[in-house]
Structure 1
Amino acid sequence: MTPRRLAVGISGASGFTYGVRLLQLLRDLDIETHLTVSRSALLTMTHETDYKFAEVSALASFTYRCDDMAAAISSGSFRSLGMIVAPCSMKTLAEIANGMSSSLISRAADVTLKERRPLVLLARETPYTLAHLRNMIAVTEMGAIVAPPVPAFYARPVSLDQMIDHTLGRVLDLFGLEAGTVKRWRDGEAKAALQEAAHAPHIA
């Protein structure tokens, strides 16, 4: 039986809070987490949040330096449910797409792919260049899932926290984990919306 544990990478893209909240949700689900944070992410942390690294590290079961290539998650023999990079910068995406294991995040992602385990990348950038899109195609062809943190407005979020929770809940769905943070689309709601639209006045 595969141990209930996940590798988590936080890279330097905007959206450090996605990684923090992910760790909180996984802790609540009793999932063992193995965290690595890039140097750029630490800079983003200071700009975007009031967190200290010690606080973030305390949310994980295990934390590794971003240059620790001897870490457990750098080996394919380390069994896990897979890996999530939240957020995933375009630099980290490029490294994964091209098999360049220059940091523990990209090495652990490479291991996840070669072992045919789920790898989910919360690619955070806009707009995309052609290089970004090609790298997304490359990692998708390798078996990764690119899941940009796009809000779902049908859930009618009233706060940033609700948007983040919905996004991460959908990410955890990909691992068969129920975080209880997703407002799911109901068939009855869909039919009601279609009926309302059918009776709405048409504007030329």
Structure 2
Amino acid sequence: MTQTTSTTAPQQSRRVTLAMTGASGAPYGLRLLECLLAQQVEVHFMISKAALMVLATETEFALPDKTAPMARKLREQFGASEEQLKVYGREDWMAPVASGSGAPSAMVICPCSTGTLSAIATGASNNLIERAADVALKERRQLIVVPRETPLSSIHLQNMLTLSRAGVTVMPASPGYYHKPQSVSDMVDFMVARVLDHLGLEQTLVPRWGE
């Protein structure tokens, strides 16, 4: 993972909520965070308890469980300021993402566990990640989920269909191979590039088809 340093103020017009939950695929979420910060996007970040464990298992980048030290480590890693990267705990109900009057206009859950899919599809809102997704749905804002599971049960598929019908972009972590990836990082970048495309952000991670 390459450290990226921010040198200019974040784009106040571009604010994205990014959540990581407990599916395999933590490198996707970490790389997406890096790319968003590199583009000076203001990021509101949350991570589930299960995702912390997956992150420590799948990468060399472990995060502390407490919000304040987690925020410090992420800002140091990516050269982000407090204004650009905001980190919230699982029950921080006063966070802007918990309300339609304060939440960013776009949210990405990457990776998204099937448990989180189920909670969002049923409106559970048992923690801040689920509540933030519920806000995105009720406010008709952009919500992208990146599930990573196989095989998929009928329950998983039904939940994805429910979310798709509600306007959610369901983007399974299924990297393509037509760009001839040479490493795992190349495959991670493929999915991150697709998410950036849907957020309307420039990306040079992967050449577009036909280029």
Is 1:152 the equivalent of 2:162? no
SS at 2:123's partner residue?
Answer: coil
Letter in 1 for 2:46: T
* TM value normalised by structure 1: 0.87
Q: Which residue of structure 1 lines up, in the alignment, with residue 110 of structure 2? A: 86
CA distance, structure 1, for counterparts of residue 113 and residue 74 of structure 2 = 19
Give unmatched runs, 5+ long, in structure 2. Answer: 1-11, 64-69, 79-83
Give the CA deviation at 1:178: 1.1
Max Rg structure: 1
Alignment check: 8 A CA contact 2:105 2:136 kept:
no
Alignment check: 8 A CA contact 2:164 2:170 kept:
yes
Alignment check: 8 A CA contact 1:29 1:179 kept:
no
Stretch deviating more after TM superposition (51-60 or 152-161): 51-60
Alignment check: 8 A CA contact 1:66 1:105 kept:
yes
* TM value normalised by structure 2: 0.84
Alignment check: 8 A CA contact 1:57 1:63 kept:
no
SS at 2:140's partner residue?
Answer: coil
Matches within 5 A, 1:52-67: 52-53=62-63, 54=70, 55-56=73-74, 58=76, 59=78, 61-67=85-91
CA distance, structure 2, for counterparts of residue 96 and residue 121 of structure 1 = 10
Is 1:42 the equivalent of 2:66? no
Work out which of the residue numbers 85, 102, 114 in structure 1 matches 2:138. Answer: 114
Is 1:132 the equivalent of 2:156? yes
Is 1:102 the equivalent of 2:112? no
Cα displacement string for residues 131-185 of structure 1 (whole angstroms, at most 9, x for unaligned residues): 0000000011111011011111111110111111111111111111112112211
Q: Which residue of structure 2 lines up, in the alignment, with residue 4 of structure 1? A: 14
Is 1:32 the equivalent of 2:52? no
Alignment check: 8 A CA contact 2:28 2:111 kept:
yes
Give the CA deviation at 1:79: 4.5
Alignment check: 8 A CA contact 2:90 2:129 kept:
yes
- 1:105–1:57: structure 2 CA closer, same or farther, 3 Å change rule? farther
Letter in 1 for 2:19: G
Q: What count of residue pairs does the alignment treat as equivalent? A: 187
- 1:57–1:101: structure 2 CA closer, same or farther, 3 Å change rule? farther
TM superposition outliers: structure 1 runs of 4+ over 4 Å: 57-60
Higher normalized helix content (fraction of residues):
1
Cα displacement string for residues 55-74 of structure 1 (whole angstroms, at most 9, x for unaligned residues): 34654700000121221111
Letter in 2 for 1:71: A
Root-mean-square deviation over aligned CA pairs:
1.7
Is 1:18 the equivalent of 2:57? no
Give unmatched runs, 5+ long, in structure 1. Answer: 190-204
Q: Which residue of structure 1 lines up, in the alignment, with residue 186 of structure 2? A: 162
Alignment check: 8 A CA contact 2:107 2:143 kept:
yes
SS at 1:21's partner residue?
Answer: helix
